[in-house]
Homo-oligomer: A and B are copies of this chain.
Amino acid sequence: MSYTSKLFPEEPAAPSVVTESIPGPKGQEAIKTLGDVFDNRCTYFVADYEKSTGNYIIDVDGNVLLDAYCQVASIALGYNNPNLIKAARSDKMIRAIVDRPALGNFPGADFETLQKDLLKHAPKGQTHVWNGLSGADANELAFKAVFFNYQSKKRGFSKNFSAEEEETCMLNQAPGNPEIAILSFKKAFHGRLFASGSVTRSKPVHKMDMPSFEWPTAEFPAYKYPLEANAEANKQEDARCLAIVEDRLQNWKCPIAGVIVEPVQSEGGDNHASAVFFQGLRDLTLKYGAKLIIDEVQAGCGGTGIMWDHERYNITPPPDLVTFSKKMQSAGYWFHDPEFIPNMPYRQFNTWCGDPKGIIMAAAICDEIKDNNLLEPLRETGLYFYNQLEALQTKYPQFITNLRGKGKACFLAFDMPSGEKRAEFLGKMRLAGINVGGCAEVGVRLRPGLIFENKHVDIFIAAMEKVLPTL
């Protein structure tokens, strides 16, 4: 019996849509009244999480939807997973809620165990972790680590700052606050605060009107699909993009201390890159003294069929920092070089220094994945899913192009002919019982949980077969 069947015996056999629109009357009313106390213009529907189970999200109208979006790739193991409920009801969780510690100043006796439970699941080559609260927070904490390291190295890891540095940093001026940059890629998404927003390059609405750091961008490979038929062109694309990175590292107006990259650009359109590109990037960062940060916020924690997507590229040496959040229900960055521990205390620091609640859940989720060997069947389901979608791409080439993500489990995407058609498709899929999301201008991204099975693929594909001819 599969993990899903065992843990979710009451999972519905199929979606069920009982209202003419989603949201239906109850959902519309709920959205209207919620609007009085929350800016809910982005709300698709109001969910009934009490009733939702496994791969199915149920809304307040009683519509039962197969969820291939999972809270923007954040629910790993299904709704109301009984094993996670156990972790949530544990005494250590209750204590983490009621007596939330300032982990830097007054860590609890169980914190060492929590950290070790988390570190068991670190990417290969990473031995340390620093804890944060969200993907944006994790990335900005990683930037701090990179900047501290870069400047400390310049002053020979001295424990003293110069008087000029101390004075100028209080005025937000160099040399205390140096002009120094993180390089990111066009179409990248790394969060929406001010430094994370500065490296995010997805859409104007994510960036408009925010003061930002004028940091450099390079280009992420834009491959031709299918990959097998376009190997030579894609190889040239890698070389073109790496040359741009090298140009920036050589010629940008200020030092580039770090490079941040997603293993798959998700919000920006599910853009993949090759092992050659990632190793090239690693080599360039080493050549020019920049640190390599891999943002595994969306792809990490099993989403692509392995725990950390970048591991498939065998990047050597491993990336300097790897950030995580979303499915982990926690956030932070992994690292291995002890030089990322700042040269004096209270530099990488804040009141909470992370959240034990999140760490408990992250470890519980990762243990569950490992103990139940969930990624092996997920990879098989992904291949099955890919093949079904490929058949649909052949049948409906006017609607489906650039199918991508092969071999990355269910972390799949394809393009539609226009933003309008994509919106129509997503809306009709929802009415056909499938919750699925978009990315970039015309992409559809599949982000089911790690417990998605062939039977769910069949339901998804049947809905597409129903919807596509009506576009």
Residues of A within 8 A of B (CB): 30, 33-34, 37-50, 52, 57, 60, 71-72, 74-75, 79-81, 84-85, 88-89, 91, 93-95, 97-112, 115-116, 119, 128-130, 133-137, 140, 143-144, 147-148, 150-152, 161, 165-166, 169-173, 176-181, 186, 191-195, 198, 201, 204-215, 217, 326, 329, 341-342, 344-352, 357, 361
> Residue among A116, A152, A350 with the most chain B CB within 10 A?
A350
Decide: B204 and A107 in contact? CB cutoff 8 A. Answer: no
The 8 A-B residue pairs with the shortest CB-CB distance in the complex, in nearest-first order: A41-B345, A194-B195, A151-B209, A37-B115, A88-B97, A172-B212, A71-B102, A177-B212
Given contacts A107-B38, A177-B212, A208-B347, contact A99 B116 (CB under 8 A): no
- With a 10 A CB-CB cut-off, give which of A107, A151, A166, A180 has the most chain B CB atoms: A107
13 pairs, A vs B, C-beta closer than 8 Å? A30-B109, A39-B345, A46-B106, A49-B109, A74-B102, A74-B351, A85-B94, A85-B98, A88-B94, A140-B194, A147-B211, A161-B204, A195-B195
Q: How far is the CB of A54 from chain B (nearest CB, A)?
A: 11
Q: Which of B47, B135, B346, B350 contacts A136 (CB 8 A)?
A: B350
Output the least CB separation between A188 and chain B (Å): 11
The answer on a CB contact under 8 Å between B347 and A169 is no
This chain's copy number in the assembly: 2
Chain B's nearest CB lies how many Å from the CB of A1? Answer: 22
Main secondary structure of the interface of A (DSSP, over half): loop
How far apart are A96's CB and chain B's nearest CB, in angstroms? Answer: 8
B179–A211 CB distance below 8 A: yes
Say yes or no: B204 contacts A357, CB within 8 Å. Answer: no
CB pair B105 A43 closer than 8 Å: yes
Given contacts A74-B100, A140-B193, A351-B71, contact A80 B106 (CB under 8 A): no
Q: Which residue of B lies closest to A118 (CB)?
A: B37
Query: Which residues of chain B have C-beta atoms less than 8 A from A191's C-beta?
Result: 350
The CA of A347 and the CA of B213, in the complex, are separated in Å by: 19
| CA A88 to CA B81, docked complex, whole Å | 18
Chain B residue contacts of A161, Cβ below 8 A: 204, 208
Instruction: Name A134's contact: one of B128, B137, B207 (CB within 8 Å).
Output: B137
CA of A128 to CA of B35, assembled, Å: 11
Known contacts A129-B37, A204-B169; A45/B106 CB under 8 A: yes
